[in-house]
Structure 1
Amino acid sequence: MSRTHRLFQLMTALRRSAGPVTAASLAAETGVSERTLYRDIDTLRGLGAVIDGEAGFGYTLIEDAHLPPLQFDDEELEALVLGLREVTQIGDPALAEAARTALTKLRARLPERSAHRLEYAVLSARRFVPPPAPGIDSSALRKACWDEAQIRFDYTDKSGAQTTREVKPLQISFFENSHCLMAWCVLRSDFRAFRLDRMSAMERTGTSFRPERIPLLRAYLDQIRAASFRKDQS
């Protein structure tokens, strides 16, 4: 881990903490010795972060000079909280953690009144039946989408039949309590949606489909909208 990344991790840990957090806890979270942690605290202070506390008492981030206050109205704050808390409920582990971290960063950048409204927002999201866990690495799938890299995976359909598919991954969407990959299926020469919990053994094929992703995704969404319109008219 680079020193820059470690300092960033330390700032995130301090932002997340509601009160004094011990050097031992911060050192464990950033993967360093307490001696190194003390040096990192001094470095952050030198860069402008106002960090209260000292060895033996714990540390609290009072002000982060590198994160100027953001301004949102009350409805915007409610929308942000609702959206991010929904991600913590339906996202895969990496996305859920990213949403929690984003909320922490927002809280650190907001004026006191707005930070209070963020902490105790009226709107929230609760799902008592979580979506099925993906059968593949969702982070790797998202990266394949961004990289416009074709992938191959094993797939089990709703009847239990198993096939191996090679696709151009376009987007991951959440449909009716399950995550689905929207893709161009090379086998079927058509658009298809695949539930992530039914996918396994995913790998890249080494074939790039750049710069087709955006045009293909637009065409797929147009097809879905047209089908929905026809259904509404029938």
Structure 2
Amino acid sequence: MSRTHRLFQMMQTLRRLPPPVTASQLADEMQMSPRTIYRDIDALRSMGAVIDGEAGFGYTLIEDAALPPLGFEDDELEALVLGLRDVAVIGDPALAKAARSALAKIKARVPPRQAHRLQHAVLDAHRFVSMPAIEIDVAALRAATWDEVSIAFDYCDRNGAETAREVDPLGLVYLDKTNVLMAWCHLREDFRTFRLDRMRNFQRTDHSFRPRRVPMLREHLERIRREIARTAKDRITAD
């Protein structure tokens, strides 16, 4: 890890952890020696970051002089808080951690009055129905989707039938009771939707389908919209 990256990570850790953050906590989080933590705190202060505290007591990041304040309307800020807290609840571990980190970044860059609103927001997100356990690495799945690389996995459908699939991953959708992958299935030669909790033995292949992901995703979504519209029309006719 370069020194610049290390200092950036320390700033993020100071934003994320409840203050005051001790050198021991920072050392555990960043897997470094306390001596290195003390040196990096001094380096950040010399670069303009206002960090209150001292060794043996803990540190509190007061402000980051290198970052200008962000301008948000109060409603915009509450929308961000609600959205990010929802991601922290429903996202995979990497995404949930990123949501908490993003909240800490926003809090560090908004004016004090809005930082207080963010810290004590009246909006929150909870899920009272437990989501099915997901065994695959969702962060790796998201990376393969962005990279437009085909993936392989074993799948168990709603009837218990098991098949080996290779698909082109197009996008992930987080629903109220489960999370799904929209994809082009090589086995069925058609668009399919797969529940993440029914996927096993996920592997990334060497087959790239770039640059077709975005138009394929649009077509997949359009088919879903047409199917929903057709089903709704049939129901109206039946009534």
Normalising by the smaller structure, the TM-score range is over 0.9
1:106 counterpart letter in structure 2: I
Mapped to 2, the partners of 1:111 and 1:218 lie a distance apart of 39
Assess, with a 3 A threshold, how the Cα gap between structure 1 residues 61 and 146 changes in structure 2: closer, same or farther.
Answer: same
Mapped to 2, the partners of 1:8 and 1:207 lie a distance apart of 35
Mapped to 2, the partners of 1:93 and 1:130 lie a distance apart of 15
Deviating beyond 3 angstroms after TM superposition, the runs of 4 or more aligned structure 1 residues are: none
SS in structure 2 at match of 1:204: strand
1:60 counterpart letter in structure 2: T
* Bigger shift: residues 211-220 or 110-119: 110-119
Q: In the alignment, which residue of structure 1 is the partner of 2:114?
A: 114
Question: Cα distance, 1:6 vs. partner?
Answer: 2.0
Question: Cα distance, 1:111 vs. partner?
Answer: 0.5
Q: In the alignment, which residue of structure 2 is the partner of 1:96?
A: 96
Kept in 2, the 8 Å contact 1:90–1:130? The answer is no
Structure 1 residue ranges without an equivalent (≥5): none
Q: In the alignment, which residue of structure 1 is the partner of 2:48?
A: 48
Question: Cα distance, 1:5 vs. partner?
Answer: 2.6
Mapped to 1, the partners of 2:70 and 2:100 lie a distance apart of 18
Mapped to 2, the partners of 1:18 and 1:168 lie a distance apart of 41
Mapped to 2, the partners of 1:101 and 1:206 lie a distance apart of 32
Kept in 2, the 8 Å contact 1:170–1:184? The answer is yes
Q: In the alignment, which residue of structure 2 is the partner of 1:21?
A: 21
Q: In the alignment, which residue of structure 1 is the partner of 2:35?
A: 35
Q: In the alignment, which residue of structure 2 is the partner of 1:79?
A: 79
Q: Percent identity?
A: 63
TM-score scaled to structure 1, two decimals?
Answer: 0.96
* 2:222 maps to 1:216: no
Question: Cα distance, 1:49 vs. partner?
Answer: 0.7
* 2:158 maps to 1:158: yes
Q: RMSD of the alignment, in Å?
A: 1.3
Kept in 2, the 8 Å contact 1:144–1:151? The answer is yes
Mapped to 2, the partners of 1:173 and 1:17 lie a distance apart of 30
TM-score scaled to structure 2, two decimals?
Answer: 0.94
Deviations 1:210-234 (A, max 9, x none): 0010010000011111111222222
Q: How many residue pairs are counted as aligned between the two chains?
A: 234
Question: Cα distance, 1:123 vs. partner?
Answer: 1.7
Mapped to 1, the partners of 2:185 and 2:176 lie a distance apart of 22
